[in-house]
Structure 1
Amino acid sequence: MGFLFALTFLVIVTGLPVAFCLAGASYVFVTATGSAPDIVIAHRIINGMDSFPLLAIPFFILAGSLMNSAGITNRLFDFAKALVGWLPGGLGHVNVGASIIFAGMSGAAVADAGGLGTIEIKAMRDAGYDPDFSVGITAASSTIGPIIPPSLPMVAFGVMASCSVGQLFAAGFIPGLLMGASLMVIVAYMAHKRNYPREERFSLSHVGRSFKSSFLSLVTPAIIVGGILTGVFTPTESAIAAVAYAIALGCYYRSLSFKRLISVSMETLDTMSTILMIIGAAAVFAWILTSNQVADNFSSFVMENFESRWMILLTINIILLVVGCFLEPIAAITIMVPVLMPLAKMVGIDIIHLGVLMVLNLMIGLLTPPVGTVLYVLSRVSNLKFERCLSGTAPFFIPLVTVLLLVTYCEQISLFLPSLIYR
């Protein structure tokens, strides 16, 4: 198995697409060891993609893209600005607040970074904020997107772990809000230290006008999340409802043309085809790990060397953080769920809690090289070098890792709402 991991790592660092890295390394391993016929790889790829709940992913992507294209993100940004822009370092808080609101629509960190990021970075630059700080807080706040429901990685985890996607969504609420609060604390500290400006004074009338202007947009999270939690929709049906509502809003605001709708739909197909290739290739890789009893051996090794549950949880976090540096979240989830599930059952870690921990770790991984997808997106948006984007993001790892540790060792932060709603 060392050969498989070494080969995969070697191919990844060459810069090839992740799907080709995983599938190629798996094919070479199977061929070299003669452990299975070649046709098994094709079957595993197809079986990995053949899952009804995965249909939610393209519709959530399409809904987020439609929100960006229809100008809805501008209204959300204006509402967040009226709500928290009066605080010291106002636009930094607006950045976080807008991400929390948009998190209830897109379910993807890259959608947040690419959509809201363009608006936020430009506004912060025009107001005199440092470019590094603007990109850093935009990158860090975009990781809230997949924690607060809906969440594409949590859909993938639910499929792989055969657990309730609705419970996973509910479990992400409080951790997501904690991430937002912790980021706002460090924004306030840096704003005081660097003497960043406030926006206009707080005004209830201004908040009311902004709320009225953005009300129809703010209904979107209520449709998505409320429909799932009340049992009206399945996650897949809620994603379809979100797309229908986004189209209706675009028509109402007269900001979404038929040509743009077709363009966004084609972009979604392109993105989803990439995701499905990653899921299929990762499924083959995960099958090899499972069939070679890597999960059982790993569980036995951890249990033999770590008696403390705290140390086992810390070990899981470190492994996921390292994996997140090299793999896309959905690929990492597809591979790591079969490996970590046996260990989680041995030490009594709730599967919903494990899902939240996995997504939290992998979202932090989106801010780290060599993958660092969010940083690459923001590097293009801001016209800053990747290295500057990384240095600007570095201070915000402190609140994110703090929340990660808090959620890790206090299970009720993630399990309170699922136990309350689904009891």
Structure 2
Amino acid sequence: MSLFLTIVVFIILLIIGVPISLVLAITSLCYLFITGDLTLLETLPKKMYSGLDNFGLLAIPLFMLAGELMNYGGITTRLISFAKVLIGHFRGGLAYVAIVANMFLASILGSANAQAAMMSKVMVPEMEKEGYRRDFSSALTLASSIVAPVIPPSMLFIIYGTLTGASIGKLFLAGIIPGILIGVGFIIVIGFMNRKQNYPKAEKATMKEIMQSFLNVLPALLIPFIIIYGILSGIFTPTESAAVACIIAMIIGFSYKQLKIAYLPKIFINTVINTAVITFLIVAANMFGFIIAYEQIPQTLANMMLSISENPFVFLLLVNILLLLLGTVLDGIAALIILVPVLTPLLGTYGIDPVHFGVIITINLTIGLLTPPVGTGLFIVSSVAKVSIENLVKAILPFLLVSILMLLILTYWEDAVLFIPNLMSE
């Protein structure tokens, strides 16, 4: 009875639009008071603290700080300019630029929401000037941002790795090919749309302009290579790589003469606020996860899955359907923290690689940014780009379908995901 009432509270809070972090915290406390078990209430603070007592989570505020430094330091605009001189002369070139620039930024930022907000400010007005519809430009920018948590570095990979013990370095490497494939899928969609829409194109850049733009952006392009090389060679851990990224971003920003000392307080405040939001979400999700574990829901789900099928292909299909549905109502980080303890005990039974599964779950939950009613990416881009949610949802449908198609391909093509990690471990 107590579990049923708790579920009712959870659903009601979601329906009335309470922020997901508060939903998880309030629901957990309601369960404790409904059961009247004071022992659980005494144990809860320890569980809340233990969820944050992980060295790997330090990478989250550091990568957020790196992203803020890069944005204020002019690195973002240089990446977009470089993509523009490379492919802007093709028909629909600015649409291709939005995708390629997002892939560049994904290798630096690691947050889809931050990237969607940043790129919406830059790309949507620029594309509208060139004759693209605002709803299409906004949808393309939002869809392209989902590669941010897949191409390393990735906050979701860091959280998944700390929860499961999977190698964060291998997760970073495993995200490279999937991130590129998703970007290529979006490029193909634009290619088909080009035939009907006849999108504009820019003048072809000269070789001198290409080289000049490349030299301008080269320091920024070196950041992801330094991070990956440092992790693989053992020079620093994934967490320490985030600190290295901050130092490099600061040096590059000052060298470009766009990062000013006066900007630093604002940069630090933004980082602290965003980190606090995610930290509270992790704490609340750990509270909720404790209740789930106490009610033995993982064991119940495991028995249910095994009763349906012992085939790993069927299991992965069911997991994808479950995650896609939950992604429409749960924030990606909250869903990750809630579901990973439930699902990972089943991986050994079905013989599924934890790193492969980490990539699947990350892509799946990131797709949730594009889906109503709780897709946070939709609300961020709608607010920044000044486009209605209804028009944005309609415009994003082709990209959403391609994202799901790529998810299914990567779910059953394990070698594509694990190719680089296996290559590096030989």
TM-score band, normalised by shorter chain: over 0.9
Q: 1:28 aligns with which of 27, 30, 37?
A: 30
Q: 2:283 aligns with which of 275, 280, 289?
A: 280
Structure 2 CA distance, aligned partners of 1:38 and 1:99? 45
TM-score, scaled relative to structure 2? 0.96
Deviation at 1:156, TM superposition (A): 0.4
What amino acid is the match of 1:163? Answer: A
Structure 2 CA distance, aligned partners of 1:202 and 1:253? 23
Deviations 1:99-141 (Å, cap 9, x if unpaired)? Answer: 1111111000012111222111111001000111101110110
Q: 1:318 aligns with which of 298, 321, 325?
A: 321
Aligned twin of 2:184: 181
Q: 2:229 aligns with which of 226, 234, 240?
A: 226
Aligned twin of 1:132: 135
Number of residue equivalences: 423
**Is 2:376 aligned against 1:373?**
yes
Query: Do the aligned partners of 1:295 and 1:338 also contact (CA within 8 Å) in 2?
Result: yes
Structure 2 CA distance, aligned partners of 1:311 and 1:204? 51
Structure 1 CA distance, aligned partners of 2:246 and 2:275? 15
What amino acid is the match of 2:19? Answer: P
What amino acid is the match of 1:48? Answer: G
What amino acid is the match of 1:179? Answer: I
Deviation at 1:387, TM superposition (A): 1.7
Q: 1:386 aligns with which of 350, 370, 389?
A: 389
Segments of structure 2 that go 5 or more residues without pairing to the other structure are: none
Deviations 1:343-396 (Å, cap 9, x if unpaired)? Answer: 222111110011001100011001112221111111122111122222211111
Q: 1:5 aligns with which of 4, 7, 11?
A: 7
Query: Do the aligned partners of 2:312 and 2:352 also contact (CA within 8 Å) in 1?
Result: no
Aligned twin of 1:14: 16
Deviations 1:166-185 (Å, cap 9, x if unpaired)? Answer: 01001100000000000000
Query: Do the aligned partners of 2:310 and 2:350 also contact (CA within 8 Å) in 1?
Result: no
Structure 2 CA distance, aligned partners of 1:163 and 1:325? 26
**Is 2:260 aligned against 1:257?**
yes
Structure 1 CA distance, aligned partners of 2:318 and 2:281? 26
Structure 2 CA distance, aligned partners of 1:229 and 1:377? 35
Structure 1 CA distance, aligned partners of 2:150 and 2:90? 25
Aligned twin of 2:199: 196
**Is 2:353 aligned against 1:347?**
no
Structure 2 CA distance, aligned partners of 1:119 and 1:250? 18
Deviation at 1:332, TM superposition (A): 1.0
Structure 1 CA distance, aligned partners of 2:299 and 2:143? 35
Query: Do the aligned partners of 1:310 and 1:409 also contact (CA within 8 Å) in 2?
Result: yes
**Is 2:419 aligned against 1:416?**
yes
Structure 1 CA distance, aligned partners of 2:299 and 2:85? 53
Structure 1 CA distance, aligned partners of 2:378 and 2:351? 36
Aligned twin of 1:247: 250
Aligned twin of 2:70: 67
Query: Do the aligned partners of 2:360 and 2:407 also contact (CA within 8 Å) in 1?
Result: yes
Segments of structure 1 that go 5 or more residues without pairing to the other structure are: none
Query: Do the aligned partners of 2:150 and 2:359 also contact (CA within 8 Å) in 1?
Result: yes
Structure 1 CA distance, aligned partners of 2:118 and 2:69? 10
What amino acid is the match of 1:283? Answer: N
Deviations 1:191-213 (Å, cap 9, x if unpaired)? Answer: 22111012222643332121011
TM-score, scaled relative to structure 1? 0.97
Structure 2 CA distance, aligned partners of 1:409 and 1:125? 39
Deviation at 1:324, TM superposition (A): 1.5
- What pairs with 1:54-93 in structure 2 (closer than 5 Å)? 54-93=57-96
What amino acid is the match of 2:312? Answer: R
Deviations 1:32-90 (Å, cap 9, x if unpaired)? Answer: 12344323222211111111100000010111111111121110000011122222211
Aligned twin of 1:207: 210
- What pairs with 1:32-181 in structure 2 (closer than 5 Å)? 32-35=34-37, 36-181=39-184
Comparing 213-222 and 90-99, the one that deviates more: 213-222
Deviation at 1:301, TM superposition (A): 0.5
Structure 1 CA distance, aligned partners of 2:11 and 2:72? 37
Query: Do the aligned partners of 1:47 and 1:280 also contact (CA within 8 Å) in 2?
Result: no
Identity rate, percent:
37
Deviation at 1:158, TM superposition (A): 0.3
Comparing 341-350 and 271-280, the one that deviates more: 341-350
Query: Do the aligned partners of 1:105 and 1:224 also contact (CA within 8 Å) in 2?
Result: no
C-alpha distance 3-200 of structure 1, shift in aligned 2 (>3 A) = farther
- What pairs with 1:326-365 in structure 2 (closer than 5 Å)? 326-365=329-368
Deviation at 1:307, TM superposition (A): 4.0
What amino acid is the match of 1:159? Answer: T
Structure 1 CA distance, aligned partners of 2:114 and 2:223? 16
Structure 1 CA distance, aligned partners of 2:171 and 2:40? 37
What amino acid is the match of 1:205? Answer: K
